[in-house]
């Protein structure tokens, strides 16, 4: 077969994939606008949606201090960005108004999730000075949790269980700090983010680039006391969402610093995930890569959504061969999540988009249910695909 015919075949295949993904993205955002109007009617005005209880057939909610409180307004903003639906924008505005006070919250490390996924997107879309002021104050609040003795941000407060715990999820909150420094804020915020990322590389990862969930430090000496899990199958296991946070976090840190060690770290984490023998054919991970009862273990759609979004960004920094792998893997994840197996029907699932996420099996909490962050990162992946690959 001639090179001309091969090139034509490749071009036709690329066009077909682009057409298919364009249609998929259009359909998902059209559905999301309708479905989130259902969700908004199921949630009182002073709280945020959390999950849907299939036994009681009711949406469960949280106050604005819950670590997921920024995902609902953030998801609404992603829907508005694509659809320009004024009703969706108005709902986002109402939810931002009740969340704004949490810019002063210092009770844990989750200010990035809470305030950057929400107000960060609002400022990106609308450029309002008051939203930037909220983001700046949030970074100052988050920075109070930095502990020089351990060279990291303390995730949770000390307790009978932990001395000074740092969890892999904390990588996600470094985006808030880095962005504020890069947009006129104090240089110390990004310095904290870089120091935290370096400490995490040193202490959180195994030789195969899988991550422990929790590292508990001695706050006085900075010594690692134990490497354990809170939400995974075992201390030594690779909890799937933890791996997704790690992949996303180091890809994002490369964006802000262009430090090659973060890019290499992200690529090695991607290799661990994508080459893992326990990654299912549809590429939506089991809740833990070492979960018992495979292949009947529960999947975690939220982990799949975060990985898909992260891979699409990682592809922007990769060579041609790597980019193709990341892109085709993300495509498969997106197509799986958009299928009837994972995506709800209109009016069902309490108004959430995706089914089959797992919060914490060890805590018997949010098991095989919709979760706000699964929806958020799913739509983020769709927007990234449209922006970078169509």
Binding-site positions for substrate: 110, 169, 229, 241, 245, 360
237 and 229 Cβ atoms separated by less than 8 Å: yes
Q: How many CB atoms are located within 10 Å of the residue 95 CB?
A: 25
Quick check: is 169 catalytic?
Answer: yes
Residue ranges at the known binding site: 110, 169, 229, 241, 245, 360
Of residues 181, 173, 183, the one with CA closest to residue 248: 173
Q: Which of 85, 131, 136, 169 is catalytic?
A: 169
225 exposed, middle or buried (CB, 10 Å; 0-12, 13-18, 19+)? middle
147 and 219 Cβ atoms separated by less than 8 Å: yes
139 and 177 Cβ atoms separated by less than 8 Å: yes
What's the CA gap between 380 and 365, in Å, rounded? 25
Quick check: is 186 catalytic?
Answer: no
User: Which secondary structure element, helix H or strand E, spans residue 327, and what is its range?
Assistant: helix 320-337
CA distances for 310 relative to 194, 205, 244, 297, angstroms: 19, 18, 8, 24
What's the CA gap between 378 and 339, in Å, rounded? 12
62 and 68 Cβ atoms separated by less than 8 Å: yes
What's the CA gap between 352 and 43, in Å, rounded? 12
Opening angle at CA 145, ends 140 and 149, nearest 5: 125
What's the CA gap between 234 and 282, in Å, rounded? 24
Q: Which of 110, 131, 300, 375 is catalytic?
A: 110
Q: Which residues are catalytic?
A: 110, 169
């Amino acid at each position: 077969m001639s090179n001309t015919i091969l090139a034509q075949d490749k071009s036709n295949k690329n066009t077909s994939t682009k057409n298919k993904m364009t249609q998929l993205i259009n359909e998902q955002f059209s559905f999301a606008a309708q479905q989130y109007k259902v969700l908004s009617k199921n949630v009182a005005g002073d709280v945020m949606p959390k999950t849907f209880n299939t036994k009681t057939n009711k949406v469960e909610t949280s106050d604005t201090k819950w670590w997921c409180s920024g995902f609902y307004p953030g998801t609404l903003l992603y829907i508005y960005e694509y659809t320009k639906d004024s009703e969706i924008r108005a709902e986002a505005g109402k939810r931002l108004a009740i969340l704004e006070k949490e810019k002063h919250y210092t009770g844990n490390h989750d200010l990035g999730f809470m305030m950057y996924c929400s107000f960060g997107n609002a400022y990106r879309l609308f450029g309002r000075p008051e939203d930037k002021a909220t983001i700046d104050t949030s970074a100052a609040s988050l920075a109070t949790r930095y502990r020089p003795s351990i060279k990291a941000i303390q995730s949770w407060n000390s307790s009978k269980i932990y001395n000074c715990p740092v969890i892999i999820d904390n990588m996600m909150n470094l985006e808030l700090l880095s962005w504020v420094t890069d947009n006129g804020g104090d240089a110390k915020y990004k310095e904290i983010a870089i120091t935290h990322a370096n400490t995490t590389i040193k202490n959180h990862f195994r030789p195969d680039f899988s991550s422990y969930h929790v590292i508990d430090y001695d706050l006085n000496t900075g010594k690692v006391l134990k490497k354990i899990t809170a939400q995974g199958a075992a201390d030594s296991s690779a909890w799937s969402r933890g791996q997704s946070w790690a992949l996303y976090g180091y890809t994002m840190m490369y964006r802000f610093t262009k430090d090659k060690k973060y890019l290499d770290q992200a690529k090695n984490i991607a290799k661990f995930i994508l080459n893992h023998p326990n990654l299912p054919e549809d590429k939506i991970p089991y809740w833990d890569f070492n979960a018992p009862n495979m292949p009947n273990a529960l999947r975690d759609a939220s982990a799949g959504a975060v990985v898909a979004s992260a891979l699409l960004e990682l592809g922007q920094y990769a060579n041609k061969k790597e980019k193709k792998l990341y892109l085709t893997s993300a495509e498969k994840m997106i197509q799986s999540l958009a299928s009837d197996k994972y995506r709800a029907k209109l009016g069902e699932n309490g108004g959430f988009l995706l089914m089959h996420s797992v919060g914490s099996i060890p805590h018997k909490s949010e098991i095989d249910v919709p979760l706000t962050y699964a929806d958020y990162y799913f739509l983020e992946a769709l927007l990234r695909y449209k922006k970078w690959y169509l």
